[in-house]
Amino acid sequence: MAEHPRQFHYNRSIGRTAMTHQDEYYDNMITMLELIWGEGYMAPGGPGNVAKMLSGLDTKGKRVLDIGCGSGDVTRLAASLVGPSGSVLGVDMNAESVAAARARAAQSGVGNVTFETGEAASFAEPRSFDALVARFFLMHQPSPGETLAAAARAVRPGGVVMMLESHMAGLLDTQHSYPHSEMYDAIVRWKCRVVSAAGADLEAGLALYRTFRAAELPEPELRMEAPVEGGADSLIFRYMAESIRSMLPMAESHQIAGFDADEVAGLEDNLRDDVVANEGVLVCWPVVSAYCRLAR
Ligand SMILES: C[S@@+](CC[C@H](N)C(=O)[O-])C[C@H]1O[C@@H](n2cnc3c(N)ncnc32)[C@H](O)[C@@H]1O
């Protein structure tokens, strides 16, 4: 496995450590998640989720703003939905993510996207976009309602706002596996601790209704989705092991014990054996989408 320097970027605008795209999704992870998302069925917030969120909307030819775009997966998906007559702008405060997003868009031959480095909430001209989208962005904001309100100023009257957030807390103290897997329970608890220590909101998904209201946006339509995975061929075992591996430096910096590199080395196989031997299933992170249309 290729080594990748772990980078925990300090988010100067909000004065705390923010977990950015590089932290959880380093190169190897991205390749793997694309493998999963390409099949559109498993990973939280993959194209399946995003396309469902956008289904029923007239997207062709529209101008879309993707804030906190990271390396631009949602931006490229939006670009395919708006087609050549539309365009998508991805904005991220992290220059490395933006460089990666540009490179990946060029590599995949997507022509109707541009990327800019900047503060998402104050980046765009008022009323200049048909739609504002973001995935796993608000969970990293200290005042998500304020940030959303500021970002939504970029949307024209009658335009739409669509947010997709993880609700990691949804797997805590609930039935996340059948039959119950102690190993998965330890993984869920550890990941939640690390992500929370990094400053992210584990309840951002179900908080979306409140966040839209705090931003003085119209009532959103919401839906929650959580993949349920079982069987020896499932990629969830690898996803869990790789994501833990990528989070070890963050855990160490917050002195959160539970997994070390040696344990992670065997984790994929151990978790698979545990689940498959019992003909069991695991529930993956729930994702909530929220959508509203602004008054004309
Ligand atoms: C977890 S990543 C999600 C990336 C992408 N939306 C995705 O779903 O793959 C969150 C991203 O938001 C960016 N970000 C966080 N706060 C920001 C802000 N205030 N302005 C611009 N970008 C921000 C981070 O740099 C990071 O790339």
pLDDT digits (tens, 9 = 90+) for 139-159: 999 999 999 999 999 999 999
Query: Is residue 220 domain-resident?
Result: yes
> Which ligand 1 atom minimizes the distance to the CA of 164?
8
CATH assignment of the domain containing 200? 3.40.50.150
Identify the residue whose C-alpha is closest to ligand 1 atom 14. Answer: 68
Which of 20, 133, 201 to probe ligand 1 with, by most ligand atoms within 8 A of CB?
20
pLDDT at 84: 92
Q: Which of 8, 21, 250 to mutate to test the pocket of ligand 1 (most atoms within 8 A of CB)?
A: 21
Indicate the helix (H) or strand (E) that contains 214. Answer: helix 208-214
Whether the ω angle into residue 179 lies within 30 degrees of 0, i.e. cis, is: yes
Give residue 54's pLDDT: 57
Q: Which domain holds residue 125?
A: 10-293
Residue 50 lies in a domain: yes
- Count of structural domains, the chain: 1
Provide the residue-wise pLDDT of the chain in tens; the chain has 296 residues: 222 222 222 222 222 233 344 444 444 444 444 444 443 333 345 555 555 555 556 778 899 999 999 988 889 888 988 889 999 999 999 999 999 999 999 998 989 999 999 999 887 789 999 999 998 999 999 999 999 999 999 999 999 999 999 999 999 989 999 999 999 999 999 999 999 999 999 999 999 999 999 999 999 999 888 888 999 999 889 889 988 998 899 999 999 999 999 999 999 999 999 999 999 999 998 989 899 999 99
Main-chain phi, psi angles of 272, to 5 degrees:
-60, -45
- If one residue of 140, 141, 143, 162 were mutated to test the ligand 1 pocket, choosing by the most ligand atoms within 8 A of its CB, it would be 140
123 C-alpha to ligand 1 centroid (Å): 14
Beta bridge partners of 163: 134, 290
Q: Exposed, middle or buried by CB within 10 Å (0-12, 13-18, 19+), for 180?
A: exposed
List pLDDT tens digits, range 77-127. Answer: 889 888 899 999 999 999 999 999 999 999 989 899 999 999 998 877 899
Query: Has residue 5 been placed in a domain?
Result: no
Which residue minimizes the CA distance to atom 11 of ligand 1?
68
Of 92, 136, 163, 201, the residue with max ligand 1 atoms within 8 A of its CB, to mutate for a pocket test, comes to 92
- 4 belongs to a structural domain: no
Q: Which atom in ligand 1 lies closest to the alpha carbon of residue 97? A: 27
Residue 3 lies in a domain: no
* Residues whose beta carbon lies within 6 Å of some atom of ligand 1: 11, 13, 18, 20-21, 68-70, 73-74, 92-94, 97, 119-120, 135-137, 140
Q: Give the pLDDT of residue 10.
A: 24
What single string gives the DSSP state of each residue in 218-256?
PPPEEEEE--EEESTT-THHHHHHHHHHHHHHHHHHTT-
Confirm whether 74 is domain-assigned: yes
Q: 136 lies in a domain?
A: yes
Distance 19 CA to ligand 1 centre (A): 8
Print the SS3 string covering 6-61. Answer: CCCCEECCCCEECCCHHHHCCHHHHHHHHHHHHHCCCCCCCHHHHHHHHCCCCCCC
**CA 281 / ligand 1 centre spacing (Å):** 31
Nearest CA to ligand 1 atom 8: 135
Nearest CA to ligand 1 atom 27: 70
| Residue whose pair of structure tokens reads 């939504």 in the numeric block | 152
What per-residue confidence (pLDDT) applies to 226? 86
CA of 204 to the centre of ligand 1 (A): 14
In the reported structure, the alpha carbon of residue 93 is separated from the centroid of ligand 1 by a whole-number distance in angstroms of 7
Whether residue 179 is contained in a domain is answered as yes
